[in-house]
C-alpha cells in the first residue's frame, strides 16, 4: 500500500512539474509584443478620439475616456451607431484598415499558442526551443539515440533538467518529449542550434552520437561556447580517446562498445557478467562462477579459492537457495554459485577453474586445472563497434573466433589483418551459416545494430546447430527477457543498458556508480574515497564485512590494490574502497565528508 501511495505521489509531482513547465513556455510564446503594440495603439487612439469628439462633437455631455475606448473598439468591429460629426470620418476609415490586420495577427498567434498548449501532438520546434529556453544549469545531451535516451530517461527520473539535441525525430524522442523533456532537431554541430538548446547555460554536456568525428567536433564547439561546462564524450577509437584526453579538458571519455564487449564475450563462454566497473584505468567485473559436476572447486572453501585467485567473494548461492553473504568456511558443492568481484583480465582463469574437470596446483593454495582440449570457435555476427570489440575480447581470452557480416567494412578488415576469418553474405540464410562453420561453433553472438536481424540470425543459427550457446543483443530489456524465456536464448544484453551506468556516473560526478540487481535484491556497487570525517577511518575490511548488507570488494592504499582486501588492514585517509552495499548501509558508509 505504501508503495502505491509513493508511486501516486511521484506521478502527481511529475504532473505538477510538467504543468508548471508548460505554463512557463506558454508565457514565453504568448505574443506579448503584438499585444503591447495593440494595447498602446488602442489607448492612444482612444485618447485622441475623446479629444476630437469633445472638441468637434458639440455634445452637452463630454465623452469619458472609457466611453472613448469602447467607441474605438466598436469602430474596429464596424459596429458604431452613435451620431458623430463628419470631421471624425478618418477614424472610421483608418482604424479598421490598420487595426483589423493587427487584431487578426494577434488572434492567430494566440490561437496557435493555446492550441499547442492543449494539443501536445502539435508542439513543434518553437515550443521545444521555448521549453529549452526555460532550462538553466541543465544537462544537455547531444545525440539522443539509444545511449542518450537511456541516460536522459534516468536523469529525468532523478528530477534533473535535461535538454536534448538530435539530428532527426524517433519514437525514443517522442517518449522523452511526453515526459516533458525538450529535444531540438537538427545538426548537432550547428552553433545556433546548440545555443537554442542552452549550451551557454548548461552545467554538463554529454556528446554521444554514433559518430566519433561528429562527437569530437561537437565537443570542441561546446568548449568554445561554454568553457565552464563539464563534457562527457562518447568515443570508439581508443587511440583517439587517449590523445584527446591528454590534450583536451573533458570530464570523461566512454566507449559503449568496450563496456558491452566484456559482457558479450564472456556470456558466449557461459559466464554471467552482472556488471562492469571502472576504477582508474583498470576494468573490473561482478560475475557469477557456477560450480559444475567434476569441478575441482567442489570441497574447497570459499576463502581459499578467492585468496588464491585474487578475487573478492560477494554473494554465495547454495544450489536451489537464495544468495547470501558468503561464510568464509563454506565449501563448494555441485550446483553452487559464487558472485565474485575481479579484474576482468582474471576471467579466463576463473572460468577454467569453475568448469575444468581436473587441475593442478601452480602455487601454494591455488588449484588450477590442466589445459582443456582446443575449444570450438565462437561466431560473432555483425561487425559494428560492438561486434568488433567482442571479437577482440575473445581473442584476448585466447578463444578461437570467426565473424560474419553482410558486407566488408573497415572494422572487418581490421579483424582479417589479425587473422580472424570473416565471412560476408546474408546472415539470415542457413546455407551461409553452414558454410561459415556455425554448425561446429560452440556459441554465437548476434550483436548487429538491428535488433530484429539479430533475433532472426540467432534462430536460423539454432536450426543449423541446436546445441549452440546463444547470446543476443537487444535494446528493449523487458522484451529481451521474454524472448530469452520463449526461445531458450542463453543470454540477452542491451549495450546501451550496460554503458548507461558509466555515463550516469560521469554526468552526476558521483562515486556511486550503479545499482545492481542480484536475484531480485537491490545493491549499489560503490567506489568510496575515504575523507577525514568519514566513519570508515580506522576500521578494517573485516569489520565492514561483518555488517549485514556490506561486502568490501577492493581496497586501494597509496596505489596498491588488494582483491580481496586484507581483512585486518586499517583504513586510512584517501584510501579507496569498492563496496557492494544495500541502500541503508550505503547511507551509513557515505556518512561524513569524503574527498
Cell of 198: 542552452
Residue 233 and residue 143 share a domain: yes
Residue 248 and residue 133 share a domain: yes
Whether 450 is covered by a domain: the verdict is yes
On the question of pLDDT at 303 being above 70, the answer is: yes
What pLDDT does 280 receive?
A: 64
Q: Which phi and psi (to 5°) does residue 197 adopt? A: -80, 0
Task: Report the predicted TM-score, pTM, of the whole model to 2 decimal places.
Answer: 0.67
SS (H, E, C) 265-282: HHHHCCCEEEEEEEECCE
The CB density around residue 76, as the number of other CB atoms within 10 Å, is: 18
The answer to whether the beta carbons of residues 526 and 579 sit under 8 Å apart is yes
- Give the span between the Cα atoms of 578 and 563, in whole angstroms: 10
What pLDDT does 175 receive?
A: 86
What pLDDT does 373 receive?
A: 57
User: Which of the listed residues 100, 120, 140 is the one where a domain comes to its end?
Assistant: 120
Return the closest-CA partner of residue 46 out of 62, 27, 32, 65: 65
Cell of 514: 550503479
Whether 281 is covered by a domain: the verdict is yes
Burial class from Cβ neighbours inside 10 Å (0-12, 13-18, 19+) for residue 305 reads: buried
Quick one: average pLDDT of 290-304? 80
Q: Where are the alpha helices (DSSP H) in 382-450?
A: 385-396, 410-417, 430-436
Q: What is the count of structural domains for the chain?
A: 5
Q: Where is mean pLDDT largest: 122-126, 328-332, 379-383?
A: 379-383
On the question of pLDDT at 217 being above 90, the answer is: yes
Query: Residue 3's pLDDT band (boundaries 50, 70, 90)?
Result: very low
Share of the chain above pLDDT 70, in %: 78
- Give the span between the Cα atoms of 139 and 141, in whole angstroms: 6
User: Which of the listed residues 103, 120, 137 is the one where a domain comes to its end?
Assistant: 120
What pLDDT does 456 receive?
A: 95
What pLDDT does 118 receive?
A: 57
The answer to whether the beta carbons of residues 540 and 569 sit under 8 Å apart is yes
Burial class from Cβ neighbours inside 10 Å (0-12, 13-18, 19+) for residue 181 reads: buried
Quick one: average pLDDT of 558-563? 80
What pLDDT does 362 receive?
A: 33
Residue 238 and residue 341 share a domain: no
Whether 488 is covered by a domain: the verdict is no
Neighbouring-strand partners of residue 185: 166
Picking from 150-159, 357-366, 375-384, 521-530, which range would have the lowest pLDDT averaged per residue? 357-366
What pLDDT does 367 receive?
A: 37
Q: What is the pLDDT of residues 499-515, one digit of tens each?
A: 887 787 778 765 555 56
Residue 111 and residue 130 share a domain: no
Whether 156 is covered by a domain: the verdict is yes
What pLDDT does 366 receive?
A: 35
The answer to whether the beta carbons of residues 470 and 114 sit under 8 Å apart is no
Average pLDDT over the chain, rounded to whole? 79
Picking from 68-77, 110-119, 388-397, which range would have the lowest pLDDT averaged per residue? 110-119
Residue 141 and residue 41 share a domain: no
What pLDDT does 213 receive?
A: 92
Residue 438 and residue 331 share a domain: no
Return the closest-CA partner of residue 467 out of 295, 273, 270: 270
Q: What is the pLDDT of residues 78-120, one digit of tens each?
A: 766 666 666 776 777 777 777 767 777 666 666 665 655 555 5
Query: Residue 127's pLDDT band (boundaries 50, 70, 90)?
Result: low
Whether 506 is covered by a domain: the verdict is no
Query: Residue 14's pLDDT band (boundaries 50, 70, 90)?
Result: low
Residue 283 and residue 231 share a domain: no
**What's the gap between Cα 592 and its chain centre?**
29
What pLDDT does 108 receive?
A: 67
Q: Which range of residues forms the domain containing residue 337? A: 273-369
User: Which of the listed residues 120, 140, 160 is the one where a domain comes to its end?
Assistant: 120
Q: What is the pLDDT of residues 222-269, one digit of tens each?
A: 999 999 999 999 988 877 877 887 778 888 888 888 888 888 988 888
Residue 130 and residue 244 share a domain: yes
DSSP 467-494: T-EEEEE-S-HHHHHHHHHHHT-SEEE-
Whether 494 is covered by a domain: the verdict is no
On the question of pLDDT at 34 being above 80, the answer is: no
What pLDDT does 359 receive?
A: 34
What pLDDT does 592 receive?
A: 47
Quick one: average pLDDT of 540-544? 87
Whether 6 is covered by a domain: the verdict is no
Whether 479 is covered by a domain: the verdict is no
Q: What is the CATH number of the domain that holds 421?
A: 3.40.50.720
Q: What is the pLDDT of residues 530-540, one digit of tens each?
A: 878 778 888 88
On the question of pLDDT at 216 being above 60, the answer is: yes
What pLDDT does 517 receive?
A: 63
On the question of pLDDT at 286 being above 60, the answer is: yes
What pLDDT does 462 receive?
A: 93
Task: Identify which has the larger pLDDT, 378 or 576.
Answer: 378
On the question of pLDDT at 447 being above 60, the answer is: yes
Residue 244 and residue 130 share a domain: yes
Residue 93 and residue 156 share a domain: no
What pLDDT does 4 receive?
A: 36
Q: What is the CATH number of the domain that holds 279?
A: 3.30.70.1450
What pLDDT does 452 receive?
A: 93
Which contiguous run of DSSP H or E holds residue 261?
Answer: helix 256-268
Q: Where is mean pLDDT largest: 67-71, 392-396, 548-552?
A: 392-396
Q: What is the pLDDT of residues 325-364, one digit of tens each?
A: 777 788 888 888 888 888 877 776 776 666 554 433 333 3
On the question of pLDDT at 522 being above 70, the answer is: no
Residue 133 and residue 245 share a domain: yes
What pLDDT does 358 receive?
A: 40
Residue 441 and residue 328 share a domain: no
Amino acid at each position: 500500500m505504501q508503495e502505491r501511495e509513493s508511486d501516486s505521489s511521484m506521478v502527481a509531482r511529475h504532473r505538477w512539474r510538467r504543468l508548471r513547465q508548460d505554463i512557463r513556455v506558454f508565457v514565453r510564446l504568448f505574443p506579448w509584443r503584438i499585444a503591447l503594440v495593440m494595447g498602446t495603439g488602442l489607448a492612444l487612439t482612444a485618447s485622441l478620439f475623446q479629444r476630437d469628439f469633445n472638441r468637434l462633437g458639440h455634445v452637452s455631455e463630454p465623452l469619458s475616456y472609457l466611453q472613448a475606448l469602447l467607441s474605438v473598439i466598436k469602430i474596429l468591429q464596424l459596429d458604431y451607431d452613435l451620431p458623430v460629426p463628419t470631421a471624425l470620418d478618418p477614424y472610421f476609415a483608418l482604424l479598421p484598415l490598420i487595426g483589423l490586420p493587427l487584431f487578426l495577427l494577434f488572434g492567430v498567434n494566440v490561437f496557435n499558442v493555446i492550441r499547442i498548449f492543449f494539443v501536445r501532438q502539435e508542439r513543434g520546434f518553437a515550443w521545444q526551443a521555448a521549453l529549452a529556453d526555460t532550462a538553466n544549469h541543465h544537462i544537455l545531451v547531444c545525440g539522443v539515440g539509444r545511449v542518450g535516451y537511456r541516460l536522459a530517461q534516468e536523469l529525468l527520473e532523478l528530477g534533473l533538467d535535461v535538454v536534448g539535441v538530435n539530428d532527426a525525430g524517433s519514437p525514443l524522442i517522442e517518449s522523452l518529449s511526453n515526459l516533458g523533456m525538450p529535444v531540438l532537431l537538427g545538426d548537432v554541430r550547428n552553433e545556433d542550434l546548440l545555443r537554442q538548446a542552452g549550451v551557454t547555460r548548461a552545467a554538463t554536456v554529454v556528446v554521444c552520437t554514433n559518430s566519433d568525428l561528429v562527437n569530437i567536433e561537437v565537443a570542441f564547439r561546446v568548449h568554445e561556447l561554454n568553457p565552464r561546462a563539464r563534457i562527457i564524450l562518447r568515443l570508439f577509437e581508443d587511440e583517439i580517446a587517449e590523445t584527446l584526453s591528454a590534450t583536451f579538458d573533458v570530464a570523461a571519455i566512454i566507449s559503449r562498445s568496450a563496456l558491452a564487449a566484456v559482457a558479450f564475450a564472456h556470456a558466449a563462454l557461459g559466464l554471467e557478467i552482472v556488471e562492469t566497473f571502472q576504477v582508474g584505468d583498470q576494468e573490473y567485473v561482478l560475475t557469477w562462477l557456477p560450480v559444475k559436476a567434476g569441478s575441482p572447486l567442489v570441497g574447497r572453501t570459499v576463502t581459499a579459492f578467492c585468496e588464491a585467485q585474487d578475487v573478492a567473494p560477494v554473494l554465495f548461492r547454495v544450489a536451489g537457495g537464495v544468495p547470501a553473504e558468503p561464510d568464509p568456511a563454506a565449501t563448494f558443492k555441485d550446483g553452487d554459485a559464487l558472485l565474485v568481484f575481479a579484474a576482468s583480465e582474471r576471467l579466463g582463469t576463473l572460468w577454467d577453474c569453475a568448469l575444468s574437470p581436473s587441475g593442478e596446483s601452480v602455487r601454494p593454495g591455488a588449484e588450477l586445472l590442466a589445459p582443456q582440449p582446443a575449444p570450438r570457435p565462437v561466431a560473432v555476427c555483425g561487425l559494428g563497434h560492438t561486434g568488433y570489440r567482442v571479437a577482440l575480447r575473445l581473442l584476448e581470452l585466447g578463444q578461437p573466433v570467426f565473424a560474419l557480416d553482410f558486407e566488408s567494412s573497415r572494422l572487418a578488415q581490421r579483424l582479417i589483418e589479425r587473422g580472424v576469418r570473416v565471412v560476408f553474405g546474408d546472415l539470415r540464410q542457413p546455407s551461409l551459416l553452414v558454410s561459415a562453420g556455425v554448425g561446429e561453433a560452440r556459441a554465437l553472438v548476434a550483436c548487429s545494430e538491428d535488433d530484429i536481424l539479430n533475433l532472426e540470425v540467432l534462430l536460423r543459427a539454432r536450426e543449423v546447430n541446436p546445441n549452440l550457446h546463444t547470446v543476443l543483443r537487444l535494446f528493449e530489456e523487458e522484451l529481451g527477457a521474454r524472448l530469452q524465456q520463449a526461445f531458450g536464448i542463453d543470454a540477452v544484453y542491451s549495450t546501451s543498458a550496460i554503458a548507461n551506468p558509466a555515463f550516469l556516473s560521469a554526468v552526476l560526478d558521483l562515486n556511486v556508480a550503479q545499482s545492481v540487481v542480484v536475484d531480485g535484491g537491490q545493491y549499489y556497487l560503490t567506489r568510496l574515497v575515504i575523507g577525514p570525517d568519514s566513519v570508515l577511518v580506522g576500521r578494517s575490511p573485516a569489520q565492514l564485512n561483518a555488517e549485514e548488507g556490506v561486502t568490501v570488494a577492493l581496497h586501494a592504499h597509496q596505489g596498491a590494490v588488494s582483491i580481496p582486501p586484507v581483512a585486518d588492514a586499517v583504513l586510512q585517509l584517501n584510501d579507496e574502497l569498492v563496496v557492494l552495499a544495500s541502500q541503508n548501509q550505503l547511507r551509513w558508509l557515505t556518512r561524513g565528508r569524503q574527498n
